[in-house]
Structure 1
Amino acid sequence: MRLDNIRQLGIKELRSLVRDPIMQALIVFAFTISVYSGATAMPETLNKAPIGIVDEDQSPLSARIVDSFYPPHFLPPVLITPAEMDSRMDAGLDTFALNIPPEFQSDLLAGRQPTVQLNVDATRMTQAFSGSGYIQTMISSEVAEFVQRYRGTAVQPVELELRARFNPSLTQTWFGAVMEVINNVTMLSIVLTGAALIREREHGTIEHLLVMPVTPFEIMASKVWSMGLVVLVSCAFSLVFVVQGLLSVPIEGSLALFLLGTALHLFATTSMGIFLGTIARSMPQFGLLLMLLLLPLQMLSGGVTPRESMPDFVQAVMQIAPTTHFVSLAQAILYRGAGLDVVWSQFIILVLIGTVFFGITLIRFRKTIGMMG
């Protein structure tokens, strides 16, 4: 009878979700448009940066420098006058403005050290930082080849053979797509379960449940399995049709094994969502609590930056967060093709964390139900 109650209450939650177009739109957006935009935006990669060049030398060397800027790192350079440098940058038309002075080539051949001016729009922080290094390297390379009258690299005493594993082309899309799916799994599982509880309180249906022959455990378990199932199905859809299909990102490992790990992760995060739902009295309050919880979970879990670069204290604290172990197993399975023999420890830890979170949330949920009664 208890299992039947959990099943029926879970179906009720799914029907409530079907009648909520806002939540449906959020789910669709999170696992389609959000994944695609997160994969293709590449915020930390120099991509199609606009550059204007003032060529006051008009020499073969300056022409070589101008021709060295091309996509995908830069847009084709725009030849401008000195008077246009500041105005174009003020208008946001150029991220970089390069000024090649007069007599640049002749000064260089005469043994003097001419100066090339580079103006950078530092409001575009990421491109300004990486782009300045790109431009310096490109100019130095072109000048060295022009002086040596030889295009090539000098023979080094030791040769480094570089082999990039798992992402040989160093394509940012491969990383961004999968991590966006992982982050959205955590976000939506917390949002859906917490919103489901608050929605019942706001609509008055929680009082109806109190007079029915159901226990707080059954009510909570029904929300966990129903909302977890929605996120799990959406995650599988996104990986197959958006990540593998639309973005052509290869998935190395077993999708079924990853979904099993996702289900264990959802066991913990849906419990966290219900816990926040018992604390918040309205959706705005729930949104503020979600910001306090979700940002640390995503930023410190190892999905954005390596955990090894974080302070030891942060690494120790984040061991109790399910996202830390979920990110670890997801990267191992989807990127490196790991099997159960590699990720079994993360699976066990997620079961333990989920059980603890479920138990703590159940105690809090019972007190909340008792206060309503």
Structure 2
Amino acid sequence: MRLANIFHLGIKELRGLMRDPILLGLIVYSFTIAVYTEAKAVPETLNNAPIAIVDEDNSPLSRRIADSFLQPYFKPPAMITAGEMDARMDAGTDTFALDIPPNFQSDLIAGKSPVVQLNVDATRMTQAFSGSGYVQNIVSTEVAGFAAADIDGRTPTVDLALRARFNPELNQMWFASVMNVINNVTMLAIILTGTALIREREHGTVEHLLVMPLTPFEIMAAKVWSMGLVVFVATLLSLIFVVQGLLKVPVEGSIALFMAGAALHLLAATAMGIALATLAGSMPQFGLLLMLVLLPLQILSGATTPRESMPEVIQTIMLAAPNTHFILLAQAILYRGAGFSVVWPQFAWLFVIATVLFAFSLRGFRRSLR
């Protein structure tokens, strides 16, 4: 009987949403026009970009190049082996991986043109565009300085083989379109669920529900599954028809695995919407709370700027936000083609956060009904 109550209450929420043209228009706009228009607007900044160096030469020149990557543009370089480079790039640990080949300095002195390989994680568009140019300038400057000091009048050349991983065209739309869809999942899930609860309160229908053989859990669960389902379907359609179809953005990984992560994230986001609605006494107050919550979630979760560019205390605090882990798994799956073996920690975090948020919201909802 309880499952039947939850189902029928959810259907009631869907019917109420269908009669609200403003919310319907917001959903359609957010997952179509907004995704398309914002796909071309990405800031190009470089701050504390993580870089790894494979020094296969171990010469004074290679160490000189490694020592030239300084803050605030780059983090201190991680000295790794060639076997570690691909795994670290696949996991999203490094934005840049510079491979200095063996006999680099001796070939340079001999007048040859050795090639230094630079691998770039191009899913981090805010760093990839400007960062690759920074790396090339640094390598060229250090080689020229070494040549002027140690080679008699000869200025050899070094070719930098740039390989943009996961986005070979360095196309900003590939990043912005998917990130906009992900941001809208969080925003719409919170707005729709919170609005549904406040609408019940303002119309006085919450009291009608309470005189029926219904529990607060059933009322809340109905709003969570119905509004979550709307955002879930809108996300899937936007990803297939707008991102892949209209914008021609390739998706490397499993859409089914991504949508499984989206379902977990929607459980957490809709529970957050219930919690905010119980705190707000009216729709204007709910709107003010949204500004206080949504802006930090969107900006500090890694969707706008890489988390490595933020202070460590902010990075630690934002681990408690569900969309931080959702963005990590979404980028890994959709851009880098990662499987469950790579993103299972994010799934585990989302499950824990969603469970805690749902329990917290249910407790607050019960208190608001007293």
TM-score under structure 1 length normalisation: 0.69
In structure 2, the partner of 1:318 is 318
Shift of 1:158: 2.6
Once the two structures are superposed, what CA deviation does each residue of 1:289-318 show, in whole Å capped at 9, x if it has no partner? Answer: 000000110101011111112111111111
Counting only pairs closer than 5 Å after superposition, residues 2-21 of structure 1 correspond to structure 2 as: 2-21=2-21
Once the two structures are superposed, what CA deviation does each residue of 1:151-192 show, in whole Å capped at 9, x if it has no partner? Answer: xxx984432111001100100000010000000000000000
In structure 2, the partner of 1:214 is 214
Distance 2:42 2:305 in 1: 15
Distance 2:320 2:252 in 1: 28
In structure 1, the partner of 2:56 is none
In structure 2, the partner of 1:35 is 35
Which entry has the higher C-alpha Rg, 1 or 2? 1
- SS in structure 2 opposite 1:178? helix
Distance 1:19 1:211 in 2: 25
1:202 aligns with 2:199: no
Counting only pairs closer than 5 Å after superposition, residues 95-114 of structure 1 correspond to structure 2 as: none
Distance 1:336 1:155, change over 3 A: farther
In structure 1, the partner of 2:187 is 187
Shift of 1:44: 4.6
In structure 2, the partner of 1:355 is 355
1:240 aligned partner, one-letter code: I
Shift of 1:353: 0.2
In structure 2, the partner of 1:67 is none
Counting only pairs closer than 5 Å after superposition, residues 151-190 of structure 1 correspond to structure 2 as: 156-190=156-190
Once the two structures are superposed, what CA deviation does each residue of 1:309-347 show, in whole Å capped at 9, x if it has no partner? Answer: 211111111111001100000000001011111111111
1:199 aligned partner, one-letter code: R
Counting only pairs closer than 5 Å after superposition, residues 1-373 of structure 1 correspond to structure 2 as: 1-42=1-42, 44=44, 156-370=156-370
Distance 2:18 2:297 in 1: 29
Distance 1:311 1:20, change over 3 A: same
- SS in structure 2 opposite 1:168? coil
In structure 1, the partner of 2:146 is none
Distance 2:258 2:309 in 1: 26
Distance 1:34 1:43 in 2: 17
- SS in structure 1 opposite 2:166? coil
- SS in structure 2 opposite 1:163? strand
- SS in structure 2 opposite 1:304? coil
Aligned length: 266
1:164 aligned partner, one-letter code: A
- SS in structure 2 opposite 1:253? coil
Gaps of 5+ in 2: 46-129, 138-153
Distance 2:244 2:306 in 1: 25
Distance 1:241 1:156, change over 3 A: farther
- SS in structure 1 opposite 2:160? coil
Distance 1:155 1:342 in 2: 45
2:312 aligned partner, one-letter code: D
Distance 1:315 1:255 in 2: 27
Distance 1:199 1:181 in 2: 26
Shift of 1:41: 3.6
Distance 2:205 2:24 in 1: 21
Identity between Structure 1 and Structure 2 (%): 68
- SS in structure 2 opposite 1:288? helix
In structure 1, the partner of 2:99 is none
Distance 1:44 1:324 in 2: 21
Distance 2:252 2:241 in 1: 16
Once the two structures are superposed, what CA deviation does each residue of 1:22-65 show, in whole Å capped at 9, x if it has no partner? Answer: 100000000000000010344559xxxxxxxxxxxxxxxxxxxx
Distance 2:249 2:280 in 1: 39
Distance 1:5 1:242, change over 3 A: same
TM-score under structure 2 length normalisation: 0.70
Distance 2:215 2:10 in 1: 14
